[in-house]
Structure 1
Amino acid sequence: MATKELNVEEKLRALYDLQLIDSRIDEIRNVRGELPLEVEDLEDEVTGLSTRLEKLKTDLDSIEEQIKVKKVAIEEHKEAIKKYTAQQKEVRNNREFNSLTKEVEFQELEIQLAEKHIREMKASIEHKKEVIAESKERLEAKSSHLKHKKSELDAIMSETEKEENFLCQKSEEFQGQIEERLLSAYKRIRGSVRNGLAVVSIERGASAGSFFTIPPQTQMEIASRKKIITDEHSGRILVDTALAEEEKEKMEQLFAKI
């Protein structure tokens, strides 16, 4: 089904209606502000801290396992010392005795080295336990903050989601009434101005939000609604005050139904 060809006045009304709807959507999204991004960042932080905590716990288990291995090795070295010491009592010459003495000394050195490693690993465990405690504290704080922010966002979403969905649907409907060239211009202007206002009315002889006076002849042309006129300073599409008031009233009735 072909779109009905609108005359200039109808195009201006459709554009201004679309602007009012899109501005209302902007207001809703501004209420949410940075909250969705904050929640996303906090979720990433919580995930990162949880992963780090799990790795620290795994490292801790690994070190404790290594200590057990070292303790078993120490017992084995002690058993070897007992064996070599007993054998020294049965040797027949100095060469065998010296050889066994060297074995005993080697086992004693291995015990000393293992004990040194155990001390180092125990110190590492204490350090990791401190880091784990700090990480747990940070994770709890971040998780609590995330819960609060998510609750805040959910509350805003539950209040505004229905209205936003309705308005987005209406925005699409009004966009469908406007020819592609004009709609592209509207979107381009909207994207280039800070407040998203692409269509504005004349207020006190100037375009809304501007201090630049519009010449009386141009104001008459705008009021005649015979062609699309843009503000030479801001590039915004201009509509007369009467049309703007009529469309605002119509849109307020539409918004009241939500």
Structure 2
Amino acid sequence: MASKKEITVEEKLRALYDLQLIDSRVDEIKNVRGELPLEVEDLADEVAGMHTRMEKLTADLDVIEDDIKSKKNGIETSKELIKKYTAQQDNVRNNREFNALSKEVEFQELEIQLAEKHIKEYKAQIEQKTAVIDETKSRISAREEHLKHKQGELDEILSETQKEEELLMKESAKFEKQIEERLVKAYKRIRGNVKNGLAVVAVERGASGGSFFTIPPQVQMEIASRKKIITDEHSGRILVDPELANEEIERMEKVFAKLK
């Protein structure tokens, strides 16, 4: 901790600008990937959802097939009962018993009709669900092919950039350790508040880098003196003089070249 307090303001500014250059390089790598990782993730989720739907449809078909079997078994039972009641009618002692058996036969015939109606409805459901399954299979095949293509694109980009990104992240962590925690927090806060992630910028043509607001000559001199950390009053960005920026850009480009 003591070593952090001992470094000069100029060393802090150089470390902050180097940290910015490293993080900006990581941002560039992430921009190359763009929305591809999210696109691949969304496609994978979509395909998984379609597979889940397929599983449910298949399970529904199994249930319907079981229902059909149950109804067919019911029909066979009713037919056996009709045979039984019809045979019993030959041995009745009076009309009352005959009529009672006739009602039982009629009831079983109605049960058969109802079961056959249900079987017809179930078969229509099977036809409908089978059509949906076939359509879903086709869609899954197309989306999986698209996912494979996009995953291939992402893998290719990752193979080219992942090693460099990991090394850059280590460099970023190393530079953070050279800077006091308060400044690192301020740097990250500013980075989070600006669109392009630039928290430390050089003065360009008398203005803050990327800004049109002119910096007064007196403030420019203070920045060039490197005696204190100065922020842009409009954007909140930390400012460094062009000479320091160019020196660090040249130095860090050599570092980046070794990381590739």
Q: Write the deviation string for residues 155-214 of structure 1: whole angstroms up to 9, x where unpaired.
A: 111110110011111111111111122222111111111111011011111111000111
Q: Give SS of 1:202's match.
A: strand
Identical amino acids, percent of aligned pairs: 73
C-alpha separation in 1, matches of 2:154 and 2:117: 54
Aligned length: 258
Match of 2:46 in 1: 45
Residue 90 of structure 1 and its aligned partner are, at CA, apart by: 3.0
**Structural mapping, 1:1-258, within 5 Å:** 2-4=2-4, 5-258=6-259
C-alpha separation in 1, matches of 2:182 and 2:79: 91
Residue 222 of structure 1 and its aligned partner are, at CA, apart by: 1.1
Q: Write the deviation string for residues 99-140 of structure 1: whole angstroms up to 9, x where unpaired.
A: 121111011111111111111111111111112112212222
Q: Give SS of 2:201's match.
A: strand
Q: Residues 172 and 240 of structure 1: is their aligned pair in 2 closer, same or farther, counting only changes over 3 Å?
A: same
C-alpha separation in 2, matches of 1:32 and 1:9: 35
Between 243-252 and 74-83, report the one with greater CA deviation: 74-83
Residue type at the aligned position of 2:199: A
Residue 11 of structure 1 and its aligned partner are, at CA, apart by: 1.1
Q: What's the TM-score once normalised by structure 1's chain length?
A: 0.95
Moved over 4 A (4+): none
Residue type at the aligned position of 2:78: H
Q: Give SS of 1:227's match.
A: coil
Residue 2 of structure 1 and its aligned partner are, at CA, apart by: 4.4
C-alpha separation in 1, matches of 2:47 and 2:77: 45
C-alpha separation in 2, matches of 1:126 and 1:53: 15
Residue type at the aligned position of 2:208: S
Q: Give SS of 1:238's match.
A: strand
Q: What's the TM-score once normalised by structure 2's chain length?
A: 0.95
Residue 143 of structure 1 and its aligned partner are, at CA, apart by: 1.6
C-alpha separation in 2, matches of 1:111 and 1:100: 17
C-alpha separation in 1, matches of 2:151 and 2:165: 19
C-alpha separation in 2, matches of 1:98 and 1:221: 116
C-alpha separation in 2, matches of 1:245 and 1:145: 45
C-alpha separation in 1, matches of 2:51 and 2:82: 47
Q: Write the deviation string for residues 29-82 of structure 1: whole angstroms up to 9, x where unpaired.
A: 111122222222222222221111111111101211211221122122122222
Residue type at the aligned position of 1:3: S
C-alpha separation in 1, matches of 2:237 and 2:95: 108
C-alpha separation in 1, matches of 2:60 and 2:186: 60
Residue 87 of structure 1 and its aligned partner are, at CA, apart by: 2.5
Residue type at the aligned position of 1:13: R
Task: Tell me how large the CA RMSD over aligned residues is.
Answer: 1.4
Q: Give SS of 1:200's match.
A: strand
The unaligned stretches of length 5 or more in structure 2 are: none
Residue type at the aligned position of 1:46: V
C-alpha separation in 1, matches of 2:127 and 2:193: 57
Residue 83 of structure 1 and its aligned partner are, at CA, apart by: 2.3
